[in-house]
Amino acid sequence: MNTMKTFILLAGMTGLFMAVGYLIGGTGGMAIAFVVAAGMNVFSYWNSDKMVLSAYRAVEVDPLHRDPVIAEYAADTLAMAAKAGMPAPKVYVIDNPQPNAFATGRDPHNAAVAATTGLLTMLTRQEVAGVMAHELAHVKNRDTLTMTVTATLAGAIGMLANFAMFFGGDRERPNPVALIATMFLAPMAASIVQMAISRSREYEADKLGAEIAGDPRWLASALAKIQHGGKAVMNEDAERNPATAHMFIINPLAGGLRDNLFSTHPATENRIAQLEELAARDLPGNALDLPEGPVRRGPWG
C-alpha cells in the first residue's frame, strides 16, 4: 500500500511539473519540466533518504563507538531490530540539542534510524530504546519510503515555485501565471504532505514499537519528555526544511503559521494514553533487559 502511494505521489509531481511548465513556457516548457520531473523521480526514489540524512548532518555510528552512551544506543537499536526479525538498519546520530528521532529508507533492507544528541542527553536508556523501537516500527511497516519521498517532493514543489519566479517573466513585467503559481505552490506542498501522511501511522508505530521494545511505558515516558523538551529547544535545521517535519517522532517545528501547515502528528497526550492502556493490560511484555536509569549524559550534556 505504501509503495503504491509513493508511485502515485511521483506521478502526481510529474503532472504538476508539466502543467506549470506548460503555463510558463508552452509545449517547450512542458517538455523541459517532464525531463526535470523524471530525473527527480528517479533520484528521489533512490536517494531521498541520503538527502534527508545529509540535511541534518547525521553521522553513522555503531556499538563500537568510543562514547559509551552512543555505543549503548546503537547496540540497543540493533538488538531490537534482531528481536523483531528485521534487517539491521544503519544507525545515525544528529548533533542537535532538540530531543527527537526519525527513520528513513526505501525498504527494511535499506533503512536508517537517527536520534539527536538532545534525545540521548535527556532520556534514560530505556526511554531511548522505546523511541528507537517506534522508529523501527516505521521501518517494519514500510512507512519510511512514503515519508521520505514525500519530504523530497514537497521540497521540490518549493523549488518549482522559484522556477516559476525566475522564468515566468522579467522584473518589470512578471508573468501573472508565474506569480499565481508561486502563491499557491507552498500551501500545495503542505497539502501533499497532509494527504500522503496519515496521522494513524504514528499510533500504529507506537503500538508496534511497544511490542518491539517490550514495555509501552518506556515510549510513553519518552514522549512526555520529548514533547516538553521539543517546545523549549528550536531545531533550526527542521525550520529550514519544514517538509521533513512529519518524519520525526514529535513535530520538531516551533509552531508558527507556516509550520502548522506541515503539522502531521496526532496529539502527544492521546499517544501516551494509548501506550498507558497497553501497559495496563500488561501488553506486550518480553522487554529488553535494560537498566531503568538514570539519565545518561554524554560529553555534549
- Specify if 165 maps to a domain: no
Residue range of the domain that includes 202: 2-30+32-156+196-280
Between 58 and 187, the higher pLDDT residue? 58
68 lies in some domain: yes
Give the domain CATH number at 228.
3.30.2010.10
The reply to whether 127 belongs to the active site is no
- The answer to whether residue 169 sits within a structural domain is no
In a domain, residue 134? The reply is yes
Select which of 135, 172, 204, 236 is catalytic: 135
For residue 237, is it within any domain? yes
Q: Is residue 288 part of a domain?
A: no
pLDDT at residue 240 tops 90: no
The pTM is what?
Answer: 0.79
- Residue-by-residue DSSP string for the chain: -HHHHHHHHHHHHHHHHHHHHHHHHHHHHHHHHHHHHHHHHHHHHHHHHHHHHHHTT-EEE-TT-SSHHHHHHHHHHHHHHHHTT-PPPEEEEE--SS--EEEEESSGGGEEEEEEHHHHHHS-HHHHHHHHHHHHHHHHTT-HHHHHHHHHHHHHHHHHHHHHHHHSB-SSSB-HHHHHHHHHHHHHHHHHHHHHS-THHHHHHHHHHHHHHS-HHHHHHHHHHHHHHHHHS--HHHHH-GGGGGGBSS--S---HHHHHT--PPPHHHHHHHHHHHHHTT-S--------------TT-
**Chain segment 74-119, per-residue pLDDT in tens:** 999 999 999 999 999 999 999 999 999 999 998 899 999 999 999 9
Residue 259 confidence (pLDDT) above 50: no
State the pLDDT confidence band at 217, using cuts at 50, 70 and 90.
Answer: very high
Structure confidence by residue, pLDDT tens digits, 114-134? 999 999 999 999 999 999 999
Share of the chain above pLDDT 90, in %: 41
- Residue 191 located in a structural domain: no
Q: Domain for residue 188, yes or no?
A: no
Provide the domain count of the chain.
Answer: 1
